[in-house]
A and B are shown apart, each in its own frame.
Chain A
Amino acid sequence: QAVLTQPASLSASPGASASLTCTLRSGINVGTYKIYWYQQKPGSPPQYLLSYKSDSDKQQGSGVPSRFSGSKDASANAGILLISGLQSEDEADYYCMIWLSSAYVFGGGTKLTVL
């Protein structure tokens, strides 16, 4: 079982909201970790969006719109990236990441389609 699991794809309509999940493997408590989120478009390196550990420990990337926000669902042991007011330019791959046991771990990524 992968350390971080993301749905492979997600589709949503312009103007709607999209909730991208990053589920931590059983035994790894989401409450312990800061989760980082990245957006990547074809041919470009990942762009840092935000990090979220708690409401008192979160950072927004420089220039990242406030319609991108992070949270956690403790019952699902998952981190969440919420994108509100979807725009066509939000169509991209999204990755989550944590620092675990002296290594960075990435989720497999979610391809978000805005249609």
Chain B
Amino acid sequence: EVQLVESGGGLVQAGGSLRLSCVASGFTFSSYEINWVRQAPGKGLEWLAYITSSGTTRYYADSVKGRFTISRDNAKNSLYLQMNSLRAEDTAVYFCARPTLGYWGQGTLVTVSS
């Protein structure tokens, strides 16, 4: 069974930093691309970042480019999102996902207080 389990969310002040993690199981993590997607309270889904299986190629949404960094450790079956210069509008549930295959974690809530 495929599982994606996010962690690292919490309350942080505006301007602060947070690092999210996602541990994968049930598939060969190192063979596949993976993404971060978020959903602000009561709002729709917003794709944030993509990383290839080897980690050599990364893409970002304009809303987080320069502030967020996606990375992975294939030896630990883990995906990360380093979030810097956080803003109130970054408040959301953050999901790691392989959306084209229907793999989503349960999400971790990040709250940025202003």
Binding site for B on A (CB under 8 A): 36, 38, 40, 45-48, 51, 61-62, 93, 95, 97, 99, 102-109
A45 touches B50 (CB 8 A): no
B114 interfacial contact with A, CB 8 Å: no
What residues of A have a CB within 8 angstroms of the CB of B101 in the complex?
A: 48
What residues of B have a CB within 8 angstroms of the CB of A103 in the complex?
A: 47, 50, 59, 61
Total interface residues on B, CB under 8 Å, equals 19
A-contact 0/1 string along B53-65, CB 8 Å cutoff: 0000001010000
Closest CB of chain A to B63's CB: distance in Å? 11
How long is the Cα–Cα vector from A103 to B106 in the complex, in angstroms? 22
What residues of B have a CB within 8 angstroms of the CB of A107 in the complex?
A: 44
How long is the Cα–Cα vector from A104 to B100 in the complex, in angstroms? 10
Closest CB of chain A to B42's CB: distance in Å? 10
**With A93-B44, A108-B44 given, can you name 18 additional A-B contacts, CB distance below 8 Å?**
A36-B99, A38-B45, A45-B95, A45-B105, A46-B99, A48-B101, A61-B102, A62-B102, A95-B44, A102-B50, A102-B59, A103-B47, A103-B50, A104-B99, A105-B47, A106-B45, A106-B46, A109-B44
A contact face: mostly helix, strand, loop, or mixed: strand
Pick from B35, B45, B59, B61: contact of A46, CB under 8 Å: B45
What residues of A have a CB within 8 angstroms of the CB of B45 in the complex?
A: 38, 40, 46, 95, 97, 106, 109
What residues of A have a CB within 8 angstroms of the CB of B104 in the complex?
A: 45-48
What residues of A have a CB within 8 angstroms of the CB of B35 in the complex?
A: 104
B107 touches A45 (CB 8 A): yes
How long is the Cα–Cα vector from A104 to B107 in the complex, in angstroms? 18
Closest 6 CB pairs of A and B: A48-B102, A104-B47, A45-B104, A106-B45, A109-B44, A102-B59
Q: When A45-B105, A45-B107 are in contact, do A106 and B100 touch as well, CB less than 8 Å?
A: no
A-contact 0/1 string along B94-114, CB 8 Å cutoff: 010101111011110000000
A-contact 0/1 string along B72-105, CB 8 Å cutoff: 0000000000000000000000010101111011
What residues of B have a CB within 8 angstroms of the CB of A61 in the complex?
A: 102
17 CB < 8 A contacts A-B: A45-B97, A45-B105, A45-B106, A46-B45, A47-B104, A48-B101, A61-B102, A62-B102, A93-B44, A102-B59, A103-B50, A103-B59, A104-B35, A106-B37, A106-B46, A106-B47, A109-B45
